[in-house]
Amino acid sequence: MKCYWAIAVLLLAGTLSVPTRADEKTQGVGTIGTGTFSCAKFSKYDSAPNSSGQMNLIVQWAWGFISAYNTRAAFSPTFQEAEAPNPISPPDANSILLFIRKHCDKNPQSNVTNATLDLIGILGGIVSSSITFPQN
């Protein structure tokens, strides 16, 4: 079953590819998938009937983003244990959706990526910027 979710996420990610703009410190950041959803789009899916499949994709994206955060230092050509980020334990699906919901209620102009970055920060991770997407 997990294989089917992975395929679904990859297919959906390919259809939702959006270039991003971030702080000048993080030029060249690229994000695809449900993380590019604005809070308005997230809220629309969140309140829609029969949207559990879409909400599961958002959770899967957030888990992947958190996993990438936890392992990013391993991609350094000179990886040292001291370079590793403060790893965090990914929360369960309900906790992720609740956090994104609250983030979007407080920050309606934000997006799922920034909600996930805030979640990482709340859980003890180190976050130094946010991501802005063009409005569609």
Q: What is the pLDDT of residues 88-104, one digit of tens each?
A: 899 999 999 999 999 99
Are 75 and 4 in contact, with CB atoms under 8 Å apart?
no
Strands 30-31 and 18-19: antiparallel
Closest CA to 126 of 93, 83, 75: 83
pLDDT value at position 23?
A: 39
> What number of other Cβ atoms are within 10 A of residue 88's Cβ?
17
Are 78 and 52 in contact, with CB atoms under 8 Å apart?
no
Instruction: Name the average pLDDT for the chain.
Output: 78
Q: How many structural domains compose the chain?
A: 1
Are 85 and 126 in contact, with CB atoms under 8 Å apart?
yes
Domain extent for 11: 2-132
Confidence of residue 50 (pLDDT cuts 50, 70, 90): very high
